[in-house]
Amino acid sequence: MNGTKYANAVGAVRAMENNLLSRSDIEQLINARSKAEMSSITASKTGTAKSEDLSDVWAMLMEYAPDCKELEILLYRNDFHNLKAVLKAIISNRDPKQYYIAPSNVGLKELTEAINTKDPSGLPEYMRRTASEAYELVTRTLDGQLSDSLIDKAALEAMQNSAAASGSEFMQRYAQLTTACADLKTAYRCCLLGKSAQFTETAVCGSPELEKDALIKASLAGTEQFFSHLETTPYSDGAALLKESAAKYEKWCDDVLMELAESARMLAFGSESLAAYFIAKEAEIKNLRILSVCKEFGADKETITERMRKLYV
């Protein structure tokens, strides 16, 4: 019965996909004249006026597939963000709670305890070394930017390593795309700010389709060289948008992940459909936030439409 895992969870996810916002729902939301109208459109589709939190989506997925370890990779970015937040909060004597992002594989208490006691043994394996190194770096140099780039890179490396260990092609592709999107942005920033080779080396992670050394070399050679190098990679479309505007590039990154999620839409078994649903909900929640902010600032319909992320349904 190989290949028939998570039949129950996939069945539930397929039924829940009917409640995802469709293109016509998004169009209605864009045309809505008030927040109340937006809420009623959302409620008629999702069955609740309360905006859904990603933590609820995660809790639901874990209820259906509690043993699905590869799904945890989806939360690595939050885990490492929380590590950064807790480190900074502890060093500057602030409450880390306000910077903590949920859902996460590691609780705030565990993270705070690990940093306070300088004992990372309570953290997941993929975070331990990074937590120690970042703490040592930030207390020694007081350079928040350096420790941030160390943690960001470690998050991407951890994603790729765990995805490879899981054997899931979907998660491997997810980790590669996430890494490449982050690397492109980081290398471009380093290029614009004229960062040293040493700093860029610390910040860029590298992935099979976006080789690290070549990217660093291109970043150090100036923007023209940087973009002409990217034209030879599978990320040339994203690079063109990055050159144009950061907002367009961010949208492209989200859309690339959504295209990956779409590849799992026809599968009846396996963790891919669960991961795809999580990515779809993430995009939906992001769309609703963008919509709400755009409406608040009186953005026109064209601008809002331009910023809407690709939908799963």
Partner 1 sequence: MTNGLVLAIIGAALAALLAGIGSAKGVSLVGEAAAGVVSVDPSKFSKVLLLELLPGTQGLYGLIAAMFILLRTGVLGSGAEALTTQQGLGFLAASLPIAVVGLISGIMQGRTAAAGVSITAKKPDHNGKAIIMAAMVETYAILALLISVLMILNIAV
Instruction: Kindly list the residues in this chain that would bind partner 1 in the complex (CB under 8 A).
Output: 1, 4, 7-18, 64, 268-269
Q: In angstroms, what is the minimal distance from the CB of 7 to partner 1? A: 4
227/269 with CB nearer partner 1: 269
Smallest separation (angstroms) from partner 1 to the CB of 65:
10
- DSSP letters along 134-177, please? HHHHHHHH--HHHHHHHHHHHHHHHHHHHHHHHT-HHHHHHHHH
Cβ-based nearer residue to partner 1, 180 or 258: 258
In order of 44, 262, 277, the CA distances from 16 in angstroms are: 14, 15, 9
Minimal distance, residue 12 CB to partner 1, in Å: 4
Question: For residue 65, what are the CA distances in angstroms to 135, 142, 263, 266, 283?
Answer: 34, 42, 20, 19, 21
Question: Least distance in Å: CB of 85 to partner 1?
Answer: 34
CB closer to partner 1 out of 64 and 227: 64
Place of tokens 């933590």: 55
Least CB distance to partner 1 at residue 307 (A): 28
Q: For residues 263 and 225, what is the distance between their CA atoms, to the nearest angstrom?
A: 34
CA-CA-CA-CA dihedral for 275, 85, 189, 229, to nearest 10: -30
* CB nearer to partner 1: pick between 63 and 237: 63
Question: Is the Cβ of residue 246 or residue 268 nearer to partner 1 in the bound state?
Answer: 268
